[in-house]
């Protein structure tokens, strides 16, 4: 069977995504890398705490998924963080390991001690945040950046310069600052940092073009989700040539979080036809691991990794599912559940259930029922679900069948005894 980029045996999206009129303005780089920041920025989400062992387990999961770079933490935060970074480096998991530091020589020394190969170096970059939040003289931010980035380079580290609050700064002022650091200190790459998630996708395109016009360095995208724009902004940025995506598992991070890796990777793969080398079948398991270790509550309908994404309650959709079956799942879902490591799609029972769902469930129990009998069960299921405001468990459904259709109770009991 011939396949188009929008309709394969794994996904089915809009053909308009691949129309030449849409794609003619794209400037995607030849290679796009994921720089995972779950262990540093992700842990900055209120109430999220990772132990040393947690960080090692997550790093192993990231490596299994094919993540290119891992920002393992900020050594200056605590001895535990420094020990975790050191141990992750020692394990030689495959991805390049970075540390995060302030633009201070002492911070860089701690990163060097951990054995990392690169460092992301932060400094305030908008005049107002330097004045009001940090209360520094403006020149201090520049001098600290020059001194510390030069030192990091001398120690053999790859340096990513990370200007905090980049997107609320005066464009000329912040680019002048960055150029001074590049020329007088050192900078291998520049992170476009939308600290407060305040850029629109259209303004992101403008930002990238303005930066590229003055700065000839590798660009990296570090965006937050305060207005839910992180994924859109990230894709807009890489479509303009940005080469590295900073993201977290589940979108963990300060306030509303960082750009979520799973959504960004899947959007690039299916909507743009760009495979960046991540093993998507690991996404669901990795998300479950981070959910467990972080204690973060994940909505059941979260894109890609939500537990209820491939559960079907609505009567009409359940009918479609019966008609399409396993042979044509992308008539009901944009991609197959196994593509992201999710369990197979299934029909569940609740207030939205219709007669087709109930008849199938009865059949699976070995119960033969007329339409009138099935409708009685439908009514009982809806009433039960409405009263409790949730789905039914299999045991609860069997109990309803036994009460509603007492003549079928033996069949229901027989089914229960073998399941």
Residue 177: pLDDT band with limits 50, 70, 90: confident
Superfamily of the domain at 15-294: Aldolase class I (3.20.20.70)
Residue 281: pLDDT band with limits 50, 70, 90: very high
Q: Say if pTM beats, i.e. exceeds, 0.85.
A: yes
Residue 34: pLDDT band with limits 50, 70, 90: very high
Least reliable range by pLDDT among 40-44, 104-108, 221-225, 367-371: 367-371
pLDDT value for 144: 85
pLDDT value at 418 more than 50: no
Mean pLDDT score of the chain: 92
Summarised one tens digit per residue, pLDDT across range 43-65 is: 999 999 999 999 999 999 999 99
pLDDT value at 419 more than 60: no
> By percentage, how much of the chain surpasses pLDDT 90?
80
pLDDT value at 1 more than 50: no
Residue 364: pLDDT band with limits 50, 70, 90: confident
State how far the Cα of 73 lies from the Cα of 182, in Å rounded to an integer. Answer: 24
State how far the Cα of 240 lies from the Cα of 22, in Å rounded to an integer. Answer: 14
pLDDT value at 170 more than 60: yes
pLDDT value for 267: 98
Q: Which residue has the higher pLDDT, 280 or 25?
A: 280
Average pLDDT over residues 79-96: 97
Sequence spans of domains, the chain: 15-294, 311-417
Average pLDDT over residues 383-393: 95
Q: Which residue has the higher pLDDT, 323 or 168?
A: 168
pLDDT value for 321: 86
Provide the pairing of β-strand 96-102 with 189-194: unpaired
State how far the Cα of 398 lies from the Cα of 371, in Å rounded to an integer. Answer: 18
**Is-contact 313 348, C-beta < 8 A?**
yes
Summarised one tens digit per residue, pLDDT across range 299-328 is: 999 999 999 999 999 888 888 888 876 678
Residue 413: pLDDT band with limits 50, 70, 90: low
pLDDT value for 408: 73
pLDDT value at 417 more than 60: no
pLDDT value at 2 more than 80: no
């Amino acid at each position: 069977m011939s396949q188009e980029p929008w309709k394969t045996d794994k996904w089915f999206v809009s053909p308009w995504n691949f129309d030449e009129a849409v794609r003619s303005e794209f400037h995607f780089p030849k290679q796009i890398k994921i720089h995972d920041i779950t262990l540093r920025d992700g842990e900055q989400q209120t109430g999220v705490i990772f132990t040393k062992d947690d960080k090692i387990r997550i790093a192993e999961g990231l490596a299994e998924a094919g993540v290119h770079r891992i920002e393992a933490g900020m050594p200056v935060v605590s001895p535990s963080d420094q020990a975790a970074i050191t141990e992750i480096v020692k394990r030689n998991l495959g991805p390049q390991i970075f540390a995060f530091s302030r633009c201070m020589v002492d911070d860089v020394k701690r990163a060097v001690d951990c054995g990392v190969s690169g460092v992301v170096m932060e400094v305030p970059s908008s005049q107002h945040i330097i004045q009001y939040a940090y209360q520094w003289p403006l020149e201090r931010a520049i001098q600290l950046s020059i001194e510390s980035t030069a030192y990091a380079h001398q120690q053999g580290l790859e340096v990513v310069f990370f200007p905090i609050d980049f997107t609320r700064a005066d464009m000329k002022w912040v680019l002048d600052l960055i150029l001074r650091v590049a020329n007088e200190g050192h900078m291998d790459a520049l992170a476009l940092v939308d600290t407060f998630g305040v850029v629109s996708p259209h303004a992101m395109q403008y930002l990238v073009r303005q930066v590229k016009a003055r700065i000839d360095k590798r660009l990296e995208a570090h965006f937050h989700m305060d207005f839910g724009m992180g994924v859109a902004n990230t894709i807009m940025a890489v479509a303009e040539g940005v080469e590295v995506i900073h993201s977290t598992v589940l979108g963990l991070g300060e306030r509303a979080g960082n750009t979520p890796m799973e959504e960004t990777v899947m959007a690039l793969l299916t909507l743009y036809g760009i495979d960046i080398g991540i093993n998507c079948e690991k996404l669901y398991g990795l998300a479950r691991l981070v959910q467990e270790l972080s204690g973060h509550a994940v909505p059941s309908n979260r894109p890609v990794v939500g537990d209820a994404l491939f559960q079907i309650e609505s009567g009409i959709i359940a009918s479609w599912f019966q008609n399409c079956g396993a042979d044509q799942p992308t008539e009901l879902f944009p991609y197959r559940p196994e593509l992201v490591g999710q369990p197979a799609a299934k029909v569940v029972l609740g207030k939205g259930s219709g007669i087709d769902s109930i008849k199938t469930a009865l059949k699976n129990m070995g119960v033969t029922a007329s339409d009138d009998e099935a409708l009685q069960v439908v009514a009982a299921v809806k009433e039960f679900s409405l009263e409790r405001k949730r789905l039914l468990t299999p045991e609860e459904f069997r109990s309803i069948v036994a009460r509603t259709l007492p003549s079928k109770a033996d069949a229901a009991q027989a089914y229960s005894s073998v399941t």
